[in-house]
Chain A
Amino acid sequence: MKTEREQIKQRMDEELEPIRFSAQEQVIRQTHPRAFGARLSALWNREIEISPGPLGALSVVILVTVLVIRPLQTGQPNHPGPQPPAHRVLIEAGGNTYWKDIYEQAVKRHED
């Protein structure tokens, strides 16, 4: 024979049957907050799926951007040209006109 207690439990079970507790994780996160490192580690080790199509396209875009921007950047400083500091001295040598400092460097280079 079922005790009264058992009867009450059975009845409670029946009544609570459609109710599902779904916020366990929230409760746990509030009661037992995880360490930052652990979270990072979780993210770090998380598995993802990537389809190679978009990845390839992205790589191409990056590569092209680098290749295009790079020459533009190197080209820009040429626009104002060889801006000479005002104190530089011109010399004529071999029928050409040079900045003395650059010329002397070149002469030295070839003498070595």
Chain B
Amino acid sequence: MKIRLKVKHLVLLLLLPATLLITFLLTFNPSRADQENRAALSSEGSAREQLLQQINAATGSRRMELIQEKVLDTAHNDFPSRFDVYIGASMSQTGSRQEADVSPLLPEDRITLLEEYIRKGPADARMVRALKQLATEYAAAGQSGSIAEALASAGERVAPSAPISRELTLYRAERALDQGDIGLAASTLNQADTSRSLMDAEQGGRYDALLGRILFAQGKAKEALDVVSGGLTSYQEYWKTMDSSIYNGTEAADSSGSTTEMLLKSLQTALRSAMDMEKTQPAAVSGTLRRSDGTPIPRAGVFLRTESEVNHSVTDAEPYRIVTDEQGHFEFHGVIPGFYQLHLGLSFEQVDGYIWPTQPDDWLEIKPGEQVNKELVLQPLLELKSPVNQVALSGQKVDFEWEAVKGAAYYSLTGHIWPKDGGSNGSVIREHIEGNQISIPVDELYYKSTGISYGSKADWQSLEPASVLGFMSPGHLSWSVDAYDAEGNLLTRSNGYRLDEDTMGNLPFFTLQKRTLTAADRLLLDHKLDQALEAYRQDYDINPQDIHAMHMLYRMKDARASINEDKQEEAETLPLLQQLMLLQPNEDYAFTLSHFFYKQKDWVSYNKYYAQYLQLSGQDPNEYVRSVHATALMQQGKLEEARQQFAIALEQDDSHRFIGSFLAAELYAGAPLHAVLELAGRYPDHSFGGSGNRWPLMIGKLISAKARQPQLFEQQLQEKLQWYAEGQEDRLEQWMEQSKDSALKAFMEAVLAVG
């Protein structure tokens, strides 16, 4: 079959759908975000072209200055990358992005310019920085090998006797060490022109730190510790002399803030700990950083941080820092065994809409000689469905619903209030929710206790009214959801960086409008605290069944007692709480009461309210509550039950903060020291910035003490443990004051401080 038609009809036939298609594409398909992206891209393109034109038009030293300013100075001082966001198990930190930080240049532009700078720029400290930055760029571009050439060309440009030549050597050696080529690192550092005696205090300090790391990587732990300790001493002495000559002895010498000193100290601590534990074989840690769909994330910072470092932000003074390569891969060599946490450095673009699910006690125990592999995966943020976007609710209950997460065994739901003066007060509303929705009675939310907050004066008058009213305070409430797998590992959460219209999702806000404020509530919100307190008291006097007045009276008096540390007033809140428990029982009241009677050692009342707490919460106690309960059981003489509860709690609690109590209970029950030593090693204590090796070292000392005088030691140990188990803390403290230092005293002191 053939179709006969005139040319004009054919053209019309083709033109009509084409016009329709073009109109459709232009009006509907490109979303606004898309257009903005394009606009951003084209403006970026022009900014880049302008900058490149500017650089290309310049010659000679002006050109080098421009490269310095536009390429080198956009990076971090010592580390070749600056990150917008730092995320770790125990902290996250957002940097502020300055205009100068945002370079319109593409990686290939930077590579070309840095290569040129290294060939032609001034051969000073900036050249070494350019090398470090170029190495990162090459790695992110998948051309790690190319840095050798740049290193060689830089090497030819410096005189062997110049300080910068030694700086270059230090970098070469450090790079070799980071790449696991320990032999090359050692031989580089041993070059004839790298004499330690030629270096100033700063360079010398960094030399000692590097040499210490190389020696440890070679298996020479003792020499490593000697070099690092010696380096630290001479560094500190140098600054002491300098300071005394500058300030003429009037001001105390303090170099502790310098990165070099911090680096040496941190290495010394790690090396000492490893020596004490006889764990002296170097280890390695490697892995990849990806998104949940498998996409690798290049150019992200990965930081392996020791126990002593995790409680402050990432600094230049840390030995294990790296930037991921093209495949998202990272690798650390010559790692000193011990306890570490991984932290990430990401750009806003990398973190937007994603979280790295890490929890406060995600510790990495690196054992001697181990090759640890750690896959780091960013997960998309969980999306909230309802109630969202500032909806006002006036019903009897709130129906929460969120997106189901694949592999989630349960969720936890947290609520927050946002007082006008800033800050927020939150409370976990429900834990262990099995589905992706839950209905909560509004009254349960209203009487949920949030934290109390107060102003910088920390006095009664600066009390923040909204924090006392909790979820009854007017204004927006927010909520968030965390998803966990069956083992209790965090999978993802709803809170995170939402920087784009696509990742923004629903706003997590709603308002509750079921109840109206009482006159007393309004006085409270007006900051008339004493008048409000009096008004609640009157309401309560008029109607002794007024639960709201009773609750608020308790909340305000409890807040004042805690601010003023007034034991008397705290005790006065008890009758209110007990009555509230009768009229409107809730788990917060029950827990507060049980904890009060725990401190009083009133075991009958404690047991009653603890049982009520368990019943009202409807779920197993968390690890903290369980550990406190185990201590209560021990003090009631229920040793077997206490040991069981401690054992369960320690399995749940990755911080193992109650390990000391468990060890004492085990020893008191007659467990031999070597068995207790094994337990101490199995549950390293990570609470309050302490060392995971603390308890094994103390038990080790007990073993040595026992070896000297077995019978006397055993008798003393049992006596002190009995005092502890029976709750005779005063007697123990008196003994500790009077006796001289010993392994037993140190152990009992540590046990007493647990909790």
Q: Contact residues of A with B, CB < 8 Å? A: 43-52, 55, 66, 70, 74, 77-78, 80-87, 90, 93-99, 102-103, 106-107, 110-111
User: Which of B97, B476, B504, B507 has a CB less than 8 Å from the CB of A86?
Assistant: B97
* A48-B5, A95-B495, A110-B507 known, 11 other contacts, Cβ within 8 Å: A46-B6, A48-B4, A49-B3, A80-B349, A82-B499, A83-B40, A83-B349, A86-B99, A94-B476, A97-B496, A106-B507
Within the complex, the shortest CB–CB distance from B89 to chain A, in Å, comes to 18
Chain B, residues 1-40, CB within 8 Å of chain A (1/0): the string is 1111111101000000000010001000110001001101
A32 CA to B100 CA in the complex, in Å? 73
- Knowing A94-B478, A94-B508, A102-B501, say if A49 contacts B37 (CB, 8 Å): no
Residue of A nearest to B92 (CB): A97
**25 interchain pairs (CB within 8 A)?**
A45-B7, A46-B7, A47-B5, A49-B3, A50-B2, A50-B5, A51-B1, A52-B1, A55-B3, A70-B29, A77-B34, A77-B38, A77-B41, A78-B37, A80-B37, A80-B44, A82-B348, A82-B349, A82-B352, A83-B41, A86-B97, A94-B478, A94-B509, A95-B494, A110-B390
> When the two chains form their complex, are residues A98 and B498 in contact, meaning their CB atoms are under 8 A apart?
yes
B678 on the A face (CB < 8 A): no
A70 CA to B29 CA in the complex, in Å? 9
A41 CA to B496 CA in the complex, in Å? 66
> When the two chains form their complex, are residues A44 and B7 in contact, meaning their CB atoms are under 8 A apart?
yes
User: Which of B5, B29, B99, B416 has a CB less than 8 Å from the CB of A95?
Assistant: B416
Q: How large is the interface on B (under 10, 10 to 19, 20 to 34, 35 or more residues)?
A: 35 or more
Residue of B nearest to A82 (CB): B500
B73 on the A face (CB < 8 A): no
B497 on the A face (CB < 8 A): yes
Residues of B within 8 Å of A85, CB to CB, are: 40
In the complex, how many residue pairs between chain A and chain B have their CB atoms under 8 Å apart?
Answer: 125
Residues of A within 8 Å of B389, CB to CB, are: 110
Within the complex, the shortest CB–CB distance from B45 to chain A, in Å, comes to 11
Residues of A within 8 Å of B4, CB to CB, are: 47-49
- Secondary structure at the B interface, as helix, strand, loop or mixed, is mixed
B98 on the A face (CB < 8 A): yes
> Which of A66, A87, A99 has the most CB atoms of chain B within a 10 A radius of its CB?
A99
> When the two chains form their complex, are residues B504 and A106 in contact, meaning their CB atoms are under 8 A apart?
yes
> When the two chains form their complex, are residues A99 and B8 in contact, meaning their CB atoms are under 8 A apart?
no
> When the two chains form their complex, are residues A86 and B352 in contact, meaning their CB atoms are under 8 A apart?
no
A45 CA to B424 CA in the complex, in Å? 78
A55 CA to B480 CA in the complex, in Å? 57
- Knowing A82-B499, A82-B500, say if A47 contacts B6 (CB, 8 Å): yes
Within the complex, the shortest CB–CB distance from A78 to chain B, in Å, comes to 7
B582 on the A face (CB < 8 A): no
> When the two chains form their complex, are residues B21 and A66 in contact, meaning their CB atoms are under 8 A apart?
yes
Residues of A within 8 Å of B1, CB to CB, are: 51-52
Q: Contact residues of B with A, CB < 8 Å? A: 1-8, 10, 21, 25, 29-30, 34, 37-38, 40-41, 44, 94, 96-102, 348-350, 352, 389-390, 416, 418, 424, 476, 478, 480, 494-501, 503-504, 507-509
> When the two chains form their complex, are residues A48 and B390 in contact, meaning their CB atoms are under 8 A apart?
no
Residue of B nearest to A89 (CB): B96
Within the complex, the shortest CB–CB distance from B657 to chain A, in Å, comes to 26
Residues of B within 8 Å of A49, CB to CB, are: 2-4
User: Which of B21, B97, B390, B508 has a CB less than 8 Å from the CB of A96?
Assistant: B508
Residue of B nearest to A50 (CB): B3
Within the complex, the shortest CB–CB distance from A110 to chain B, in Å, comes to 4
- Knowing A83-B44, A96-B495, A110-B390, say if A50 contacts B10 (CB, 8 Å): yes
> When the two chains form their complex, are residues B496 and A96 in contact, meaning their CB atoms are under 8 A apart?
yes
Within the complex, the shortest CB–CB distance from B41 to chain A, in Å, comes to 6
Within the complex, the shortest CB–CB distance from B698 to chain A, in Å, comes to 40
> When the two chains form their complex, are residues A81 and B349 in contact, meaning their CB atoms are under 8 A apart?
yes
> When the two chains form their complex, are residues B504 and A45 in contact, meaning their CB atoms are under 8 A apart?
no
Residue of A nearest to B7 (CB): A46
Within the complex, the shortest CB–CB distance from B702 to chain A, in Å, comes to 46
Within the complex, the shortest CB–CB distance from B254 to chain A, in Å, comes to 34
Within the complex, the shortest CB–CB distance from B640 to chain A, in Å, comes to 43
User: Which of B29, B98, B478, B499 has a CB less than 8 Å from the CB of A97?
Assistant: B499
A89 CA to B465 CA in the complex, in Å? 29
> When the two chains form their complex, are residues B8 and A90 in contact, meaning their CB atoms are under 8 A apart?
no
A106 CA to B283 CA in the complex, in Å? 50
Residues of A within 8 Å of B40, CB to CB, are: 80, 83, 85
> Which of A44, A49, A83, A110 has the most CB atoms of chain B within a 10 A radius of its CB?
A83
User: Which of A48, A70, A74, A106 has a CB less than 8 Å from the CB of B7?
Assistant: A48
> When the two chains form their complex, are residues A48 and B10 in contact, meaning their CB atoms are under 8 A apart?
yes
A48 CA to B509 CA in the complex, in Å? 67
> When the two chains form their complex, are residues B497 and A97 in contact, meaning their CB atoms are under 8 A apart?
yes
Residues of B within 8 Å of A48, CB to CB, are: 4-7, 10
> When the two chains form their complex, are residues A95 and B480 in contact, meaning their CB atoms are under 8 A apart?
yes
User: Which of B5, B38, B390 has a CB less than 8 Å from the CB of A111?
Assistant: B390
- Knowing A44-B8, A102-B504, A110-B389, say if A51 contacts B2 (CB, 8 Å): yes
Within the complex, the shortest CB–CB distance from A52 to chain B, in Å, comes to 6
Residues of A within 8 Å of B3, CB to CB, are: 49-52, 55
Residues of B within 8 Å of A78, CB to CB, are: 37
Q: Which 7 A-B pairs have the closest CB atoms?
A: A81-B349, A94-B478, A77-B37, A82-B500, A95-B495, A86-B99, A94-B508
> When the two chains form their complex, are residues B6 and A107 in contact, meaning their CB atoms are under 8 A apart?
no
A95 CA to B480 CA in the complex, in Å? 8
> When the two chains form their complex, are residues A84 and B507 in contact, meaning their CB atoms are under 8 A apart?
no
> When the two chains form their complex, are residues A99 and B5 in contact, meaning their CB atoms are under 8 A apart?
no
- Knowing A44-B6, A82-B499, say if A90 contacts B102 (CB, 8 Å): no
Residues of B within 8 Å of A103, CB to CB, are: 504
Residues of A within 8 Å of B98, CB to CB, are: 86
Residues of B within 8 Å of A110, CB to CB, are: 389-390, 507
A2 CA to B8 CA in the complex, in Å? 58
Residue of B nearest to A44 (CB): B8
A96 CA to B478 CA in the complex, in Å? 10
